[in-house]
Amino acid sequence: MESEELDKLDVVIKTVGSLPLLRDFLARMDLGEIIDRHCPLAAQTELSCGQVAELLVANRLRAPKPLYKVAQWASDAGGEEVFGMPAERLNDDRRGRVGESLGQHAAVLQGEIARQIARGCASAWSRFPGI
């Protein structure tokens, strides 16, 4: 790139910390897919219940404070870039609908997520015979 082109670039630096690791861990757990199977949202919504839930889990693990200004946190912490969802779509109404849906299906979700985690642990332990 020429120096003139570099001068025109807007550079934003964000420290994403553990968010990529959390995103990959949640994906390996199939958390979003499990939630989406049981908590479908209306077809016109841009984000699925599972996508929002994954970001909310990451928020709780990275910034364990009340769910306040999550959109601002996602924007500042790199959640938009890491999870690929616009922060402005994480408004109170959307989080409320997701929370309500998760609550309605909590028992089934807990069982299925626990089973998925157990499968992952069994698979990991199988790599270490004799332990």
Q: Please give the residue that has the higher pLDDT: either 128 or 110.
A: 110
Number of domains into which the chain is organized = 1
**Could you tell me if residue 8 is inside a domain?**
no
User: 27 in the Ramachandran plot: left (φ > 0), alpha (ψ -120 to 50) or beta?
Assistant: alpha
41/70 Cα distance (integer angstroms) = 20
- Only one residue has tokens 């807990």, namely 110
| Rounded average pLDDT over 8-34 | 87
pLDDT per position as a tens digit, 62-90: 888 777 788 898 888 888 899 998 888 88
pLDDT per position as a tens digit, 24-60: 999 989 999 999 999 987 666 788 899 999 999 999 9
Instruction: Evaluate whether 53 touches 32 at the Cβ level (below 8 Å).
Output: yes
Q: What is the pLDDT of residue 66?
A: 72
**Could you tell me if residue 94 is inside a domain?**
yes
Instruction: Evaluate whether 89 touches 45 at the Cβ level (below 8 Å).
Output: no
Q: Please give the residue that has the higher pLDDT: either 6 or 82.
A: 82
Could you list the residue range(s) of the whole structural domain that residue 69 is in?
A: 16-122
**Could you tell me if residue 11 is inside a domain?**
no
**Could you tell me if residue 7 is inside a domain?**
no
